[in-house]
Structure 1
């Protein structure tokens, strides 16, 4: 158990150990409130991943109220963690709690794994509406030490499509254009295009199980540059 103090009080950070966790209903409520159906999988699926040691679940609480959650997916070969979902209750936003929570998680993960590579996906402000909101999200992750992989083009089809029989035409109306962000205990100079491609393949095929998008995946991989730019 970890914790931190800020001007709104003392907060506890806990790692969920079993599905009998007393705060499980609050975790699910925050998850369902924070994300639209097109961006989520059923919460029971997350619990199945947790059972199989494929997902870590952390939460931040003040006394008996859960304030924020962080769901972290675990991958091997290459070894990396994905910040799968991160959410703060609406009424607690803008108080510095989310930043403190995530910063402590990054620090804790670094201490637990000297070869840490943590990856996050954030919507690209260059596409679609709410550009200022998307930019603020990127700045939020930068505040905790994450670096934007600036020159890698990456996007995902809608995740709520159950039976896709064809390759979608690539356009902003159908695909979500994203930026990849990374933080590593090693130098970013060791973060090569080969690793980037391996991570993207894992995300498409293992994490999102996008079986109908081989041509799209190939296009993304072919456009990963030989020299990476971080901001």
Structure 2
């Protein structure tokens, strides 16, 4: 987009970091959010990568990701555009930057991300529409849904689990994982992404044991 640039989180002015935090808090429900301070800490320590979309110094959007080393896959945890700037093409430009960075610099074969299920029971019609729109956003940019069944993730705040869908976009690998490769990817998400132990019920279920 004209005027938009993508930069890293470190080095931003405190007011810009506050704007990024506001975008993050507004975009994701509490159960899906890790503390923002942890993201900042992990970015500073080189554990995570955070991308910030700026236009004339104003934060428009935010994304964070890191590499699932065991499967050489870029896990896109969060991507959000300030609600005041949605529909202007900024989300697509941020996605393009992330995908290009992953392909060129991160040594990964693909990108994986989670999206909420639009067919989840007992959600209101507006939520269904919003979830379908989010899936279409990624599908229109080369991602596709993976054939996982009953994929659930632990809530990051509070107890419980949430059903999610997995989407996948190619980097060096042209075709999505299937069979054992898909099982390995789900295990990596649980063990590396959510820090679950190998004997956690979700990990065991994912392994088919």
CA distance in 2, matches of 1:114, 1:36: 31
Instruction: Select which of 76, 88, 98 maps to 1:105.
Output: 98
- Give 1:228's aligned residue: none
| Shift, 1:65, TM fit | 0.6
The answer for unaligned runs of 5 or more in structure 2 is none
- Counterpart CA distance in 1 for 2:198 and 2:102 is 34
Q: Does 2:48 correspond to 1:55?
A: yes
* Counterpart for residue 118 of structure 1: 111
Asked if structure 1 preserves the Cα contact closer than 8 Å seen for 2:74 and 2:108, the reply is no
- 1:1-231 pair list within 5 angstroms: 4-5=1-2, 10-16=3-9, 18=10, 20-22=11-13, 23-113=16-106, 115-128=108-121, 129=123, 130-161=127-158, 175-185=161-171, 186-188=173-175, 191-211=177-197, 214-222=200-208
Q: What's the offset of the Cα at 1:55? A: 0.5
CA distance in 1, matches of 2:98, 2:137: 14
Task: Answer whether contact 1:125 1:131 (CA < 8 A) is retained.
Answer: yes
CA contact (8 A) 1:153 1:220 kept: no
Check conservation: 1:54, 1:75, Cα contact below 8 A. Answer: no
Query: CA-atom RMSD, angstroms?
Result: 2.3
Between 1:49-58 and 1:81-90, the stretch displaced more is 49-58
After superposing on structure 2, the runs of 4+ consecutive aligned residues of structure 1 that deviate more than 4 Å are: none
Deviation at 1:13, TM superposition (A): 1.2
- Structure 1: which 5+ residue stretches go unaligned? 165-173, 224-231
Give the alignment's TM-score, normalised by structure 2.
0.85
- Corresponding residue pairs, total: 202
- Cα distance change of structure 1 residues 211 and 26 upon mapping to structure 2, 3 Å threshold: same
Larger helix fraction of residues: 2
Whose radius of gyration is greater, 1 or 2?
1
User: Counterpart of 1:168?
Assistant: none
Q: CA deviation at 1:211?
A: 4.9
Contact in 2 for aligned 1:117/1:183 (Cα 8 Å): yes
Task: Kindly state the Cα deviation for residue 11 of structure 1 after the two structures are TM-superposed.
Answer: 0.9
